Chain A
Amino acid sequence: MFGTFTEIERKVLNDERLTREDGIKLFSCNDLSWLGAMADYVRKKKCGDIVYYNVNCHVNLTNICTSLCKFCAFGREESTKGSYAMNVEQVISVVEDAMKDPNMSGLHVVSGLHPQWSFEHYLNFIDILHKKFPSLYIKGFTGVEITHFAKISGKSVKNILIELKNVGLQAIAGGGAEILSDRVRNLLCPKKATADEWLEVARIAHSIGLKTNASMLYGHIETLEERVNHLIKLRDLQDITGGFQTFICFPFLPKNTALEKDIKQTSMWDDLRTIAISRLMLDNFKNIKAYWVMLTVPVAQVALNFGANDIDGTIHKENILHEAGATSPKSLKEDEIIKIIRDIGRIPAACDCNFNILRIIDKV
């Protein structure tokens, strides 16, 4: 019935690896429910019915950024209206506010590349947060920030990562991968880490026992082949290190970005097939995240049947994507997340930034 899709189906059912050509072929498939069913089959086999979530708080230290990527609505120059840079007291007050939730378990720290801040300045935030809130895990910084820290400090990526780990950083965030194609990066984000530099940070982090996440920003100027190549680059590195924990699909949100006029937001059809294909191609990743902020809550829930087993967290207050017109709420309550997962017959499990289960929410 599906021509070569039959062959792909056979491979999936037999746990065989899909090739780059298979991946490209899958992007030509219009049968969304078949793609979903394949991805759901793999998800169930690999992860069972547990869906991971975090009770977490996002901390964005500054939106002042030297990179000024064309797809970003958050970063800006210091002189631009709305720019901010938090001091230690402000950060502590954000976290203290989040700690009012007795289940608060961790922080996600991602920020702009501030032109005047040194590596030590960023490091100091982590040091202080860890000392002040020892019960919270800290996941922070993307491969782009780590590369930036190495450049401004003259230190090696490895030493940067070791210093961060020593002050309490427990995992690296998955952002900044965008599309791992230099053609695309030169057009959209020429000032920041290249594809190789991003992958190198992940490789070195894994080598010193620091787990990282991975991501893909799609739906802008990349080709479908470039999406598949991106997934294969991640899969190749994962074969060597095994240090990626979860993969996050980021559909590009064009509002308030330099690309707003030329690019329309992806359809949810595209979002769901991209998640499903990611699950099928990334056969060595255990977790696939449906990031509700970008997908919206209803689609993130549907995505849990298209290969995802992770729905991210409560977030406390999302800033970056709401600058780009995200229509989802800025935070979710834990009860809401639990209901989203339970309503489709799955089992919610609160976890830390390394997917250690903190609490399984059993059936009432």
Chain B
Amino acid sequence: MNIKNDLNVARNKAYLGERLTLKDALLLYENNDLLFLAECARKQKERKSGNKVFYLINRHINLTNICSSNCPLCAFQCKIGDNQSYTLEFDDINKILSEVKNVKGLSEIHIVSALHPEKNFDYYIDTVKLIKKTLPDIDIRAFTPVEIVNFSIQSSKSIEEVLKILIDAGVNSLLGGGAEIFSERVRKIICPKKATAEEWLNVMKTAHHLGLKTNASVMYGHIETIEERIEHLIKLRDLQDETGGFQAFLMFPFHPDNTELGKKYNLKRVSAWEDLKMIALSRLILDNFDHIKAFWVMLTMPIAQLALAFGVDDLDGTVGEEKIIHAAGSKEFKGITRNILNKIIKESGYIPVECDSFYNQKRENQ
């Protein structure tokens, strides 16, 4: 079979929503037919979620930016004693919670932080307990597998034990971050000290077996190859086949500003065109994921809106105060209102649905 035939086979599978192989996906990537991918991804989105687009009212809390991981890809990390370093103590958290209490329709607290060398697992457990006690009806989506692995090392407990303790404390689901690119070649350069690909996937597998839902992600647009991007997606798809525990997939385009990695390799932010192409391709490859989320803080809101035409069915949330990506030069507002999200979704012709962490509908805004 020649290449043209192979491409036609891949295009046909994409159009019908059939499973794509690594080779299919590479051919579709190289084919560069942006609007064909968009059309197929839109069809796939509508097979999964009809004409609904989900979002939730949430608040991000980043407990600390002091991190022992020192990933070259990150602009958020600080060392103890740095001018910009901070760590929220329970008083600070109480203060945030007393503000957050008044947010109408709040569904979720989203906690992601750094690997603080002097904060032990108890600090995180107590934080979760404090939030749960103050806001018993609010879902807590917290910690990436990278943090979970760190807790396990710090406390000498198994991953399963760590997860069970967190579930008991009140964690309702895990985040999808920290996956970066699974390729060991790439991880050695962009994040050598943190959880390996295998560890990341193992945390997710364990969480899913305990009934804890999680998200998944990729960080692209740095030093990875296209093949490594697609292999990453296929690894996620394989695990999802096994457990079914992933809810949404998020694309993180790498923001190079203020990062060591960006400086060393002279990296520029990939284009919006590339973002949209990868979103559509991800929607097609991840045929067993219900939701593809456009994280507007990273993509910018205009591009996140365009992503609704490229297979996205989830615009994340109102966010509140995001610090990690803003440290890497994101210029997006730190929060957004329900009304703006509704308007943005309606313009795309879809129906905005305000939901909780588990896509249970709270409100439909026709």
Contact = CB atoms under 8 A, between A and B. Distances in A.
Contact of A33 (B310, B344, B350): B310
Interface in A14-60: 30-34, 36-37, 40
A267 B347 CA distance: 9
Contacts of A269: 302, 305-306, 309, 347-348
A270 interface: yes
Contact of B39 (A30, A33, A302): A33
Contacts of A305: 34-35, 273
Given A31-B349, A268-B306, A302 B272 contact: yes
B302 A301 contact: no
A34 B306 CA distance: 13
Nearest to B277: A344
B32 A345 contact: yes
Given A298-B273, A302-B273, A37 B39 contact: yes
A33 B42 contact: yes
A12 to B, nearest CB: 14
B276 interface: yes
Nearest to B31: A345
B233 interface: no
A322 B175 CA distance: 40
Given A30-B349, A34-B39, A345-B32, A302 B309 contact: no
A269 B53 CA distance: 16
A204 interface: no
A8 to B, nearest CB: 16
A299 B305 CA distance: 12
A343 interface: yes
Contacts of A298: 271-273, 303
B34 A268 contact: no
A344 B38 contact: no
A272 interface: yes
A180 interface: no
A272 B349 contact: no
A340 interface: yes
B274 interface: yes
Give the interface centre of B32, B42, B272, B276 by most chain A CB atoms within 10 Å. Answer: B272
A30 B303 contact: no
Given A33-B42, A36-B35, A343 B271 contact: yes
A267 B303 CA distance: 10
Interface in B311-364: 344, 347-350
A150 B327 CA distance: 56
A30 B305 CA distance: 12
Contacts of A343: 271, 273-274
B273 A272 contact: no
Contacts of A34: 39
Nearest to B270: A343
Nearest to A343: B271
Contacts of A340: 271
B42 A31 contact: yes
Contact of B302 (A31, A33, A267, A344): A267
A268 B35 contact: no
Given A33-B42, A270-B347, A302 B306 contact: yes
B36 interface: yes
Interface string A323-364: 000000000000000001001110000000000000000000
A308 to B, nearest CB: 12
B172 to A, nearest CB: 33
Contacts of A32: 38, 306, 309, 348
B349 A301 contact: no
B35 A40 contact: yes
A283 B351 CA distance: 34
Interface in A261-311: 267-270, 272, 298-299, 301-302, 305
Nearest to A33: B38
Interface in B243-287: 271-274, 276
Contacts of A37: 35-36, 38-39
Contacts of B272: 298-299, 301-302
A345 B35 CA distance: 13
B161 to A, nearest CB: 46
Q: Which of A31, A270, A272 has the most CB of B within 10 A?
A: A31
Interface string A135-163: 00000000000000000000000000000
Contacts of A33: 35, 38-39, 42, 309-310
Given A37-B35, A343-B271, A267 B344 contact: yes
B273 A344 contact: yes
A40 to B, nearest CB: 5
Contacts of B306: 32, 268-269, 272, 302
Contacts of A36: 34-35, 38, 309
Contacts of B305: 267-269
Contacts of A270: 347
Contacts of A345: 32
A71 to B, nearest CB: 21
A102 to B, nearest CB: 25
Nearest to B30: A345
A343 B34 CA distance: 12
Contacts of B349: 30-31
B276 A302 contact: yes
Contacts of B273: 298, 301-302, 305, 343-344
21 contacts: A30-B349, A31-B42, A33-B42, A33-B309, A33-B310, A36-B38, A37-B36, A40-B35, A268-B303, A268-B305, A268-B306, A272-B306, A298-B272, A298-B303, A302-B34, A302-B276, A305-B34, A305-B273, A343-B274, A344-B32, A345-B32
Interface of A: 30-34, 36-37, 40, 267-270, 272, 298-299, 301-302, 305, 340, 343-345
Given A33-B310, A272-B306, A302-B273, 10 more contacts: A31-B309, A32-B38, A32-B348, A33-B42, A34-B39, A267-B347, A298-B303, A302-B276, A305-B35, A345-B32
Interface of B: 32, 34-36, 38-39, 42, 271-274, 276, 302-303, 305-306, 309-310, 344, 347-350
Top 9 A-B pairs, shortest CB-CB distance: A30-B349, A33-B38, A298-B272, A32-B309, A37-B35, A268-B302, A345-B32, A36-B35, A33-B309
